[in-house]
Amino acid sequence: MELSNQDRQWVIRTPDQRLRVFVSSTLKELAEERRVAREAISRLRLAPVMFELGARPHLARD
């Protein structure tokens, strides 16, 4: 079965087919709020992507 162009726009293009929700803020000052947000996102069966999870151990390059 092939999807129409209109249907294709609603296909989630992630490996697990879940929408990802990016959570960004200061880590220390809003730790409790970030924890609550992560739990709420998970309860909605969405994938929380926390800001610190994307950090890399090396310095940025120009």
Residue ranges per structural domain of the chain: 15-54
pLDDT score for 37 = 93
pLDDT score for 40 = 97
pLDDT digit string, tens, across residues 7-49: 556 666 666 777 888 888 776 788 899 899 999 999 998 989 8
pTM: 0.58
Phi, psi angle pair for 47, to nearest 5°:
-110, 110
Closest CA to 17 of 55, 46, 59: 46
